[in-house]
Amino acid sequence: MHRVWVAELDESATQEVRVLLLAAREADGRPEVDEAGPLPFQGGLHLLGREDGELAGYAHLDTAGDSFGRQVAELIVHPGRRRRGHGSELARELITKADTGVRVWSHGDHPAAARIAEHEGFTRARELLVLHTPVRSWPEPVTPPDVTLRTFVPGQDEEAVIAVNARAFDWHPEQGSLTVDDLRAAEREDWFDPAGFFLAERDGAVIGFHWTKVHPADPNRFDGEHVGEVYVVGVDPAAQGGGLGKALTAAGLRHLADTGLTQVILYVEGDNAPAIAVYEKLGFARYSVDVQYAR
């Protein structure tokens, strides 16, 4: 018997969801979830789908929405209970709880998600490409004569970075809503490393940044090695066009190479042809794609 309902995640339910997410990560390489600590999905609504009392599927609805106020959902079915209708049931329940313009992620462009989306009246609205390259011998960064590079100083640079970020990503559904508090929260994460967070300055003002990240080893991806990421590259629109983005990217890539990593990834919007062209020249190639469906 299948049942789906909205639930508050008490300690027991949180552990059930964690077990399900870890099983999905083992099978699919996603989502990023730790064996302890907070779940990756916080706040909003949590939908639990059960079969004979056991958790078979989970969906999270971010009711606060993205930078444009659109609600966004994640839906995961336990690998051992797929092809039994749980995904469709969770999707239909999500529809009853969500706004009309809700968007739902399909990480890895899963064929089952495509079938459910078509059946429930969703269409592909966004593609987020994952690009990958082995570490290479990247050139030294070349900045404009009046621009200097340095690394991020916690407690000093948060407001300047967020101001540039807001201007550089006013079009982006997620990155554009980053706040000073969000940045400070990231600084408390185990992966945060200010030595891999590069700032470009002109006349003492921050005009761009490249924030890198290192992911823990995943046995299902990249030969089980730690992986570096070109996490965010942001350039103030008033400073674009002078090669600053390329210089910042090179600085971060060389840093990741110097740490001994052998693999680097990045995420880029599928319709951002200029950025894709730049990354392809640096050796990146398409690895996978995440799809956002809209109804």
Report the DSSP pairing between strands 147-151 and 197-202.
Answer: antiparallel
- The number of C-alpha atoms within 13 Å of 164 and in the hemisphere containing its C-beta is 25
The response to whether 213 counts as a known ligand-binding position is yes
CB crowding 242-252: b at 16 or more within 10 Å, else e = bebbbbbbbbb
The response to whether 252 counts as a known ligand-binding position is no
The response to whether 29 counts as a known ligand-binding position is no
The response to whether 97 counts as a known ligand-binding position is no
If you ran DSSP here, which 8-state letter would residue 121 be given? T
The response to whether 102 counts as a known ligand-binding position is no
The response to whether 235 counts as a known ligand-binding position is yes
The response to whether 84 counts as a known ligand-binding position is yes
The response to whether 80 counts as a known ligand-binding position is no
The response to whether 75 counts as a known ligand-binding position is yes
The response to whether 57 counts as a known ligand-binding position is no
The response to whether 244 counts as a known ligand-binding position is yes
The response to whether 95 counts as a known ligand-binding position is no
Q: Do residues 54 and 69 touch, judged by C-beta distance below 8 A? A: no
The response to whether 208 counts as a known ligand-binding position is no
The response to whether 156 counts as a known ligand-binding position is no
Look up tokens 């990958």; give the residue.
132
The response to whether 162 counts as a known ligand-binding position is no
The response to whether 276 counts as a known ligand-binding position is no
The response to whether 243 counts as a known ligand-binding position is yes
The response to whether 267 counts as a known ligand-binding position is yes
Q: Give me the DSSP letters along 80-115.
A: GG-SSSHHHHHHHHHHHHS-TT-EEEETT--HHHHH
CB crowding 71-98: b at 16 or more within 10 Å, else e = bbbbbbbbeebbeebbbbbbbebbbebb
Residues belonging to the binding site for acetyl-CoA are 75-77, 83-88, 233-235, 240-246
Residues belonging to the binding site are 35, 75-77, 83-88, 174, 213, 229, 233-235, 240-246, 267
